[in-house]
Amino acid sequence: MFTASAELYDAIYSFKDYAAEAAQIAGLASAIHPGARTVLDVACGTGEHARLLAQDHGFEVDGLDLDEGLLRVARAKHPSGRFFQADMSDFALAKRYDLVLCLFSSIAYLVTLERTRRALACFRRHLRRNGVVLVEPWFAPGGLEDGRVARVTGTHKGRTVERISRNEIDGRISRLWFDYRIDSPEGIRQVSEVHELGLFTTDEMAAAFEEAGFRAEFDAVGPTGRGLWVARPAA
């Protein structure tokens, strides 16, 4: 998914206020699960949430991602954490956690509800007693404008990246066409990639959580305005 952009990820998303998001997650965790210390950040990307939750809020944070390029960055940022390369819908770790996170709409990269249910079941199996799962969803059907073009520019470690994105809606799939222009000390280059994310209704996501054995509540705002699912194992 980020084959072309793993090394550029932090520049592309330099507009994100990771510190504020980590503080919000830490505050929520303190309110709903006092004493929680261990965290698994699923689809952790370059580990910025993991680093900040550990550094600023005292959590013990491990991460999991499908992309080895992103994991290399995460390991360098947060060397005290353990980072695993795996598919979020099919993984088995020896450790169980107080909190399992899946942020920044990463759950939608599973594309189908069946794979989403499998991922949620995996999350549940990796929870300690009284553990909590926090999932930030993608947009519901109708929430994205077909054909919309957007441009963002970011800078990180001497690289300036301009990304032009175009939305394409294909039934229940949102296809994001990304074109990058990278200006670095090595010169200027251009790369492209396509991302596919599933579009699920709130009711469909609620049913997926229930089928995976959770009691789930939905906060319509969440860390970035896309909402947040807060789920506990059902009795």
CATH fold for the domain made of 149-198 = S-adenosyl-L-methionine-dependent methyltransferases (2.20.130)
Q: How confident is the model at residue 182 (pLDDT cuts 50, 70, 90)?
A: confident
Task: Read off the pLDDT of residues 62-117 as tens digits, 9 standing for 90 and up.
Answer: 999 999 999 999 999 999 999 999 999 999 999 999 999 999 999 999 999 999 99
Nearest to 64 by CA among 112, 24, 97, 18: 97
Question: pTM of the prediction?
Answer: 0.94
Query: In this model, does residue 231 exceed pLDDT 70?
Result: yes
CA distance 205 to 210: 9
pLDDT of residue 2: 56
Question: Does 151 score more than 70 pLDDT?
Answer: yes
Sign, CA torsion 192/13/24/75 = positive
Residue 163 has pLDDT above 70, yes or no: yes
Question: Domain ranges in the chain?
Answer: 6-139+200-233, 149-198
Q: CA 189, 65, 212, 34 torsion: positive or negative?
A: negative
Average pLDDT value over all residues in the chain? 94
Q: How sure is the predictor about 189, in pLDDT bands with cuts at 50, 70 and 90?
A: confident
Can you list the alpha helix ranges (DSSP code H) found in the chain? 9-12, 18-32, 48-57, 68-77, 113-125, 202-211
List the CATH code of the domain at 6-139+200-233.
3.40.50.150
Q: pLDDT-derived band of residue 4, with 50, 70 and 90 as boundaries?
A: low
In this predicted structure, what is the pLDDT of residue 139? 96
CA-to-CA dists, residue 24 to 19, 134, 149, 181, 206, angstroms: 9, 12, 30, 33, 23
pLDDT of residue 11: 80
As given in the structure block, the two tokens for residue 136 are 């930030």
